[in-house]
């Protein structure tokens, strides 16, 4: 079997952001369920947190192609 070990690195780097994004949206859903009128405010914050957590996975993806 041939392949590129860097792809494994991407898989590893996706674990943390995966857990993080799950936690962010869990908190968002919780917040909206408790206080539906706060949806607009929470949405922006949730998307922002999602974007920041996702950056790590994107780094992994790009580095998997850069350091081959």
Partner 1 sequence: MSLNVLGAISPAAAGGDGEGFHAPTPAEFYQPLIGHGDFAITRPMVVLAISVALIAWFLVATTKRAAVVPGKGQWVTEGAYNFVRNGVARDIIGSHDFLRFVPLLFSMFMLILVNNLFGVIPPIQYPTMSRIGFPIALTLLVFVIYHAVGIRKNGAWGHIKHMIPPGLPKGIYVLIIPLELLTYFVTRPLTLALRLFGNMFAGHMLLLLFITGGEYMLIHGGIGLKAAGVGSFGMAFVLTAFEALIEFLQAYIFTLLAATYIAGSLADEH
Q: Which chain residues interact with partner 1 by CB under 8 A?
A: 1-4, 40, 44, 47-48, 50-52, 54-55, 58-59, 61-62, 65-66, 68
Q: How far is the CB of 23 from partner 1 (least distance, A)?
A: 18
Q: How far is the CB of 52 from partner 1 (least distance, A)?
A: 8
Query: Helix axis angle, 5-34 relative to 39-66, nearest 10°?
Result: 180
Q: How far is the CB of 62 from partner 1 (least distance, A)?
A: 6
What SS3 class is residue 1?
Answer: coil
């Amino acid at each position: 079997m041939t392949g590129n070990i860097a792809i494994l690195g991407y898989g590893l780097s996706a674990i943390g952001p995966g857990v993080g994004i799950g936690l962010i949206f869990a908190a968002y859903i919780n917040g909206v369920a408790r206080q539906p009128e706060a949806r607009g405010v929470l949405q922006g914050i949730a998307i922002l947190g999602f974007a920041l957590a996702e950056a790590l996975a994107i780094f992994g993806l790009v580095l998997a192609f850069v350091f081959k």
